[in-house]
A and B are shown apart, each in its own frame.
Chain A
Amino acid sequence: MNSSALIHAVIDGVLTGSVYALMATGLTLIFGVMDIINVAQGIFVILGAYLSYALSVHWGIDPFVGLAITIPTLFFVGIAVEKAFFGRLKGPEKTAMSILVTYAISLVIEGTLNMVFTVNYVQIQAWYVNKSFRLFGVWFPYIYVFGFIMAAIMLSGLYILLYRTRFGASIRASLADQTAAALVGIDVRRVSTICFGIGIALTAPGGMIFGATNTFNASTSYDLISRLLTIIVLGGMGSLGGALLAGILMVTLEDLVGVIWSPVWSTLSFFLVLVIVLSVRPQGLFGKQSARVA
């Protein structure tokens, strides 16, 4: 093991982890506001990847430019799904039922994608997908750097929305306590619908970067969702900052273990850290146990 390998592992971890954080943020936002565990988030990421792929292959639209189409598209898909399936989910069984409903949604989308795109693996191509530049003796792949910058912009935008706007205040109030938010006049139902749309919209940029850095088909979503769920549980269910930190932390740790010890243990380390953290802080790194119990 040499120092350059370690530096490379840290760089890979931070760049890749930020994209996972972006995908996981949507998941944790949906849970935080709606108490819905969206196990379909993985397939929405793949749907985002396929939309970018289709725009690139059929209309020659650059994947980043294509986000101007895919983000709003997935936002409205999210709104439609929320209105169709989650409006009627109420009561103490809501969270458990949401797992079943979102699993069913994910199966339907997977089947549809298999019919439309077949099960053959594809990858999004653009000039920067396989290219890299050298800085301080280290090769930086453009796609990961662009992905990192995009994730930073998206997450900053989300931060501004949440902490600098009136609507953001409504979301945060709903995150803290839905009953109290409703009592002060916030339309929690509307906030929930829009939050679900935002959560799904965030899969568009995440899916685009995922599809440019991996070959994928609809079944790839199964690998993604376990990773995304681990990130939001570690960060604290409903915590946006927790998802960001946990995404970067987990992927960096995984890469470091692979370099220092062996890649065999890298995936194990991912889940080992989760078990250790949860045994000390059952609510995750930034989760608020009292709020969730309430």
Chain B
Amino acid sequence: MKRKGKLFRAFGATSVAAVTAMTMAATTTSGAASNGTLAKGAPVTIGISLSLSGDFSADGLAYQQGYKLWAADVNRAGGLLGHPVKLDIVSDASSPTQVVTNYQKLISTDHVNLTFGPFSTLLTLPAAQTVNRYGYAMIEGAGGGPSVFQAGLKNVFDVTLPVAYDLQPFAKWLTSLPASTRPKTISYVTSNDPFTQPVVQEAQKLIGKSVKTVYNNVFPAEATDFTSIADAVAAAKAQVVVLGSVDVPTVSAFMQAFEQAHYTPEAFIATAGPDQGAAFIKAVGAKNADGMMVPNSWYGQSKNPQSMKMVAEYVKQYGGTAAGVNADIAEAYAVGQVMAQAVTATKGFDNSKIIKYLHSGVTLNSVQGSVKFNALGMNTAQTAYTFQWQGSKFVEVNPVGDPGAVKILFPKPAWGN
């Protein structure tokens, strides 16, 4: 009996301690999430986890530049509601596990006021789920894969076009070509990444039987040696290749293997990689880039006044040209812009009010164009474009008939010419 009593006391004490700890934690975190006011002049801290090393480091660093560029602009203009913006950026090393730890730390230890998203669909989903538990809004620019929206979260808002629609203009252009000039064969090859696979599947659905599929395969996202896969695609000799890629190395490996196999597709579009501006050209060479296509919703030479201002600032600060500005910069900058408009409209930093406001159907603006969220947090106001490298220029080629679109380079020139 005595032993049982001790056990009960120990259990009781532990329970009380645990409940107290949980209550304190809940008070602290909900306080951080719902307290929309800050002391006068106190900084508003925004917590961000970025891939500053690992597979997504090139994109992570570009995102960091975009976020910092936005914060500098806001602070120059007097801050958010008079509060200077302070970015609390931590590295997740491109790991879906680390990104969870990072946002938990940012919210429960660092007590950040707001959160911005990490890079990639792969990391955004666990990140959004984590901040959702604390009642935080997560505005992001690189988590456009369907898995993010299918999670049923109410706190996630992607300022960029949902990726599933990325290849619509390309598919429409291809299928609208007269039968006499339309390519007869197509190869689909994609990484099994949650960002790329849905894009390529959607393209397959749209193109359907208009063009005969001669190769269709998926490779693991963790693959590092693409030689045999690329050789198999080359052996299929399709006139069109649709590649589901997340980065420059993947696209570059396929391009190199195709050249070595003396195979040049008439049209070659990759879901990501060629959009990385100067970084892509530096890796593959300008001559090889000629004719390479990529879907996106923004490019460096966009005539959007906000975009032109941002690009000018970026070039002044980091050098290069407008065509060489990575699309990640604009995505990150747009995240900040949308948050700023939400904060201004709700007159504070209350995450629940921000979430409610962003779900209200309001149309906002950004360097990428208009932003309007549906119930799932998808941006329904943007248009998908296809861009192509033509010489050293990165130009819009469709939707066909769009005022900014130039004639598509088709068929693609041979490698190195």
Q: Which chain A residues (1-51) contact chain B, with CB distance < 8 Å?
A: 4-5, 8-9, 12-13, 16
Residues 132-169 of chain A: 1 if any B CB is under 8 Å from the residue's CB, otherwise 0? 10000001010010000000000000000000000000
Bound Cα distance A195, B200 (Å):
49
Q: Are B228 and A122 in contact (CB under 8 A)?
A: no
Residues 82-121 of chain A: 1 if any B CB is under 8 Å from the residue's CB, otherwise 0? 0000000000000000000000000000100010001111
Q: Are A123 and B284 in contact (CB under 8 A)?
A: yes
B61 at the interface (CB under 8 A from A): yes
Q: B residues within 8 A CB of A254? A: 225, 228
- Nearest CB to that of B285 among chain A residues? A125
Q: A119-B61, A121-B283 are in contact. Are A219 and B252 (CB under 8 A)?
A: no
Residue among A4, A215, A223, A267 making CB contact with B248, cutoff 8 Å: A215
B266 at the interface (CB under 8 A from A): no
Q: Are A263 and B219 in contact (CB under 8 A)?
A: yes
Bound Cα distance A262, B189 (Å):
11
Q: Are A264 and B218 in contact (CB under 8 A)?
A: yes
Q: Are B223 and A139 in contact (CB under 8 A)?
A: no
Residues 53-93 of chain A: 1 if any B CB is under 8 Å from the residue's CB, otherwise 0? 00000000000000000000000000000000000000000
Bound Cα distance A276, B387 (Å):
47
Q: Which chain B residues (279-311) contact chain A, with CB distance < 8 Å?
A: 279, 282-285, 288
B78 at the interface (CB under 8 A from A): no
Residues 189-233 of chain A: 1 if any B CB is under 8 Å from the residue's CB, otherwise 0? 000000000000000000000000111111110111001000000
Total CB contacts across the A-B interface at under 8 A: 126
Bound Cα distance A130, B146 (Å):
37
Bound Cα distance A129, B219 (Å):
24
Bound Cα distance A258, B282 (Å):
30
B232 at the interface (CB under 8 A from A): yes
Q: Are B55 and A222 in contact (CB under 8 A)?
A: yes
Bound Cα distance A125, B259 (Å):
14
Bound Cα distance A47, B71 (Å):
35
Q: A residues within 8 A CB of B415? A: 130
Q: Which chain B residues (244-288) contact chain A, with CB distance < 8 Å?
A: 247-249, 252-253, 256-257, 259-262, 278-279, 282-285, 288
B416 at the interface (CB under 8 A from A): yes
Bound Cα distance A224, B249 (Å):
14
B152 at the interface (CB under 8 A from A): no
Q: B residues within 8 A CB of A268? A: 220
Bound Cα distance A207, B237 (Å):
31
Q: Are A130 and B259 in contact (CB under 8 A)?
A: yes
Q: Are A263 and B235 in contact (CB under 8 A)?
A: no
Bound Cα distance A149, B60 (Å):
38
Residues 244-267 of chain A: 1 if any B CB is under 8 Å from the residue's CB, otherwise 0? 000000010011001100111011
Q: Which chain B residues (199-249) contact chain A, with CB distance < 8 Å?
A: 217-220, 222-225, 227-229, 231-232, 235, 247-249
B392 at the interface (CB under 8 A from A): no
Bound Cα distance A136, B218 (Å):
29
A131 at the interface (CB under 8 A from B): yes
Residue among A5, A119, A131, A258 making CB contact with B58, cutoff 8 Å: A119
Bound Cα distance A9, B248 (Å):
24
Bound Cα distance A230, B403 (Å):
54
Q: Are B225 and A219 in contact (CB under 8 A)?
A: no
B192 at the interface (CB under 8 A from A): yes
Q: Are B223 and A213 in contact (CB under 8 A)?
A: no
- Nearest CB to that of A107 among chain B residues? B53
Q: Are B416 and A130 in contact (CB under 8 A)?
A: yes
Min distance, Cβ B414 to any Cβ of chain A, angstroms: 12
B54 at the interface (CB under 8 A from A): yes
Q: Are B222 and A267 in contact (CB under 8 A)?
A: yes
Q: Are A139 and B248 in contact (CB under 8 A)?
A: no
Residue among A12, A122, A218, A264 making CB contact with B227, cutoff 8 Å: A12
Residue among B54, B60, B192, B228 making CB contact with A12, cutoff 8 Å: B228
User: In the complex, which of the residues B58, B231, B235 has the most CB atoms of chain A within 10 Å of its own CB atom?
Assistant: B231
Bound Cα distance A118, B320 (Å):
15
Q: B residues within 8 A CB of A129? A: 256
Min distance, Cβ B247 to any Cβ of chain A, angstroms: 8
Q: Are A119 and B229 in contact (CB under 8 A)?
A: no
Bound Cα distance A114, B58 (Å):
10
Q: A residues within 8 A CB of B283? A: 120-123, 215
Q: A residues within 8 A CB of B229? A: 258, 263, 266
Bound Cα distance A255, B224 (Å):
12
Q: B residues within 8 A CB of A216? A: 249
Bound Cα distance A268, B223 (Å):
10
Which 6 pairs show the lowest CB-CB distances between chains A and B?
A263-B219, A255-B228, A141-B260, A132-B260, A215-B252, A223-B224
Besides A119-B57, A215-B249, A267-B220, 11 new A-B residue pairs in contact (Cβ under 8 A), listed by A number? A8-B232, A16-B227, A119-B60, A121-B248, A121-B252, A213-B253, A214-B253, A218-B57, A222-B55, A263-B219, A266-B220
A residues apposed to B, CB below 8 Å: 4-5, 8-9, 12-13, 16, 110, 114, 118-123, 125, 129-132, 139, 141, 144, 213-220, 222-224, 227, 251, 254-255, 258-259, 262-264, 266-268
Can you list 20 A-B pairs, Cβ within 8 angstroms, ordered by A? A5-B232, A12-B227, A12-B228, A12-B231, A114-B53, A118-B61, A121-B247, A121-B282, A130-B259, A139-B261, A141-B260, A215-B283, A215-B284, A219-B57, A219-B94, A224-B224, A263-B218, A266-B229, A267-B223, A268-B220
